Amino acid sequence: MTAQFGPSALATPANLITIGRLVLTVPLLAMVVGTGDSWPAVALWIALCVTDGIDGLIARRQGTTRSGAFLDPLADKVLVLGVMFALVANDTFWWVPVAIITAREIGIQGLRSYWGRRGLAVPASGLAKAKTVVQEIAVGFALLPLTATDHSWIANGLLSMAVVLTVWSGAQYLVEGRRAITTSGSR
């Protein structure tokens, strides 16, 4: 039998995995800043990306929580944006695409918080999930020793695709949020 957690629960298996992802982001950032592409960095990156799906699966089975709804996106943003900024610092990624992605992530997170205080939830769309996967794959190729140096165009091409999906899914959130506000009457 699987344990069920109420919406106010904090110490859940899913939240523990999410907190572990946050904690393990620190050594990953140190690796990326210190050495750039490496097998240990790409292995840790893959593990942290995979555990994002695992904590979500566990949360859906055992009951989602308000703390998890806050912690999971936070862990995602710290991980992805943190490593992207480390790759900018290493001159692997150009700062402009990373700045666009960062602006969208911060803006949409602010809007989701604003809507949430008004009792509206705008869940992640399929496009937003695809955006996250493409961002993660772009970073993965930037960390992978086989492609990082001689085939950097792969990671940078994927980063460009991630920017398009990021802007597109951001616009989709704006439309869906506006629609939710209009139909609920909570302005």
Identify the band that residue 1 occupies on the pLDDT scale cut at 50, 70 and 90: very low
| DSSP per-residue letters across 23-51 | HHHHHHHHHHHHHSS-HHHHHHHHHHHHH
Answer whether 14's CB lies under 8 Å from 59's CB.
yes
Q: Which helix (H) or strand (E) holds 133?
A: helix 126-143
Identify the burial level of 126 via C-beta atoms within 10 angstroms of its C-beta, where 0-12 means exposed, 13-18 middle and 19 or more buried.
exposed
Q: Which residue has the higher pLDDT, 160 or 11?
A: 160
Question: How much of the chain exceeds pLDDT 90, in percent?
Answer: 58
pLDDT of residue 9: 61
Q: Which residues contact 33 (CB under 8 A, 6 or more apart)?
A: 86, 89, 90
Cα–Cα distance measured from residue 171 to residue 177, given in angstroms and rounded to the nearest whole number: 10
Average pLDDT, the chain: 88
May I ask the CATH architecture of the domain 13-182? Up-down Bundle (1.20)
For the ranges 86-90, 106-110, 122-126, the maximum mean pLDDT occurs at: 86-90
Q: Is the model more confident about 48 or about 61?
A: 48
C-alpha 164/C-alpha 161 separation (Å) is: 5
Rounded average pLDDT over 48-61: 88
Per-residue pLDDT tens for 111-162?
888 877 777 777 778 899 899 999 999 999 999 999 988 899 999 999 999 9
pLDDT at 119: 75
Given pLDDT bands bounded at 50, 70 and 90, which one contains residue 99? very high
Q: Which of 11-20, 64-73, 98-107 has the highest mean pLDDT?
A: 98-107
